[in-house]
């Protein structure tokens, strides 16, 4: 990776989550000082276990909904990698108020604290959900549709706030529209767990995973190491044209959920042959879910130098091995 963030003080919000902890791992290995702000609502202390005791790591248990917590975390920081959010489309459909409090009010707190602290670069997690009902594939950054869920609305508002802060206050903001990120440490538990860890856990337990819909819907699954690369490239981008806009972070390929299921089942069957005979069950589609997703990564590659190193097959091999070792 050509662009390496080194010898800097970096704030990672949501650092106890699986994306945040992967970022911290890489940042510390590159001799950065890292501040982690997390309220542990969805993140886990065990995701930080390898960093506790590192003199370059500081954990602040706090909430982005509290401006004072954000100000404390941003003090003396040069870069912010803002990952903290309340994810899940279904969760936002059930409880839009809390999703808005965390994802919109919390975002405004942290970007305001970053502005007041004179932070050099503010990189934040957006989402492919902002494309909403726009039918075209692949998804290009300029062409978004109407949001289909409260979660999508919150991420769209984040992008609007970031652009306004960039224009009004001279900040350098870069939004990363994540497409179905997966990888080690992604939580398989709870009703809002992402599809890959949910499928994996069910299969390891010899239970039939649930596919919502008929399984023909497609997704552009993105391995965690590609996401880490995108964050670091966003933090170190030197082209002024790269600032105050949003980027797709994906691999640029898609697979149906049925195909994904088969890949996971076959991968786990190498460890436990009985898994090969487990078939999924199908349930009604979920409200707010989009039918198909595929990203163009041309803009991200051109302006950030993003070049994803792991395709779906490679990422699943790493992930399945990790889950087998940690869930058995």
Enumerate the active-site residues: 151
Look at residue 295 and give its three-state secondary structure: strand
DSSP 224-277: HHHHHHHHHHHHH---GGGSSEEEEES-S--EEHHHHHHHHHHHHHTT-GGGGG
- Measured CA to CA, the distance from residue 303 to residue 112 in angstroms comes to 26
- Measured CA to CA, the distance from residue 264 to residue 316 in angstroms comes to 7
- 281 CB burial (10 A radius; 0-12, 13-18, 19+): exposed
User: Tokens for 154?
Assistant: 């919150």
The answer to whether the bond into 244 is cis (omega within 30° of 0) is no
Which of 58, 61, 67, 73 shows the shortest CA–CA distance to 24? 58
């Amino acid at each position: 990776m050509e662009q390496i963030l080194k010898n800097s003080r970096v704030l990672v919000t949501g650092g106890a989550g699986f994306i945040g902890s992967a970022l911290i791992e890489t940042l510390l290995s590159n001799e950065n000082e890292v501040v982690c702000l997390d309220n542990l609502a969805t993140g886990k202390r065990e995701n930080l276990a390898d960093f506790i005791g590192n003199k370059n790591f500081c954990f602040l248990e706090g909430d982005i909904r509290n401006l004072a917590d954000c100000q404390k975390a941003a003090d003396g920081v040069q870069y912010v990698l803002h990952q903290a959010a309340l994810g899940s489309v279904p969760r936002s459909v059930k409880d839009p108020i809390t999703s808005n409090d965390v994802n919109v009010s919390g975002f405004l707190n942290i970007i305001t604290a970053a502005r007041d602290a004179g932070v050099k670069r503010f990189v934040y997690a957006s989402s492919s959900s902002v494309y909403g009902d726009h039918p075209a594939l692949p998804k290009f950054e300029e062409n978004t549709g109407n949001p289909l869920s409260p979660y999508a609305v919150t991420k769209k508002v984040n992008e609007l706030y970031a652009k306004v802060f960039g224009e009004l206050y001279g900040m350098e903001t870069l939004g990363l529209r994540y497409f179905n990120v997966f990888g080690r440490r992604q939580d398989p538990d709870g009703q809002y767990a992402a599809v890959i860890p949910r499928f994996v856990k069910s299969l390891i337990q010899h239970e039939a995973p649930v596919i919502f819909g008929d399984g023909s819907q497609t997704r552009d699954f993105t391995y965690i190491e590609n996401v880490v690369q995108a964050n670091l490239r966003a933090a170190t981008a030197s082209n002024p044209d790269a600032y105050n806009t949003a980027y797709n972070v994906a691999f640029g390929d898609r697979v149906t959920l049925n195909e994904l299921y088969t890949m996971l089942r076959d991968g786990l069957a190498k460890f436990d042959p009985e898994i090969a005979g487990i078939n999924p069950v199908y349930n009604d589609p979920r409200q707010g879910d989009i039918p198909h997703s595929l990203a163009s990564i041309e803009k991200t590659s051109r302006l950030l130098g993003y070049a994803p190193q792991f395709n779906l097959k490679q990422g699943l091999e790493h992930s399945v091995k990790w889950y087998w070792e940690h869930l058995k």
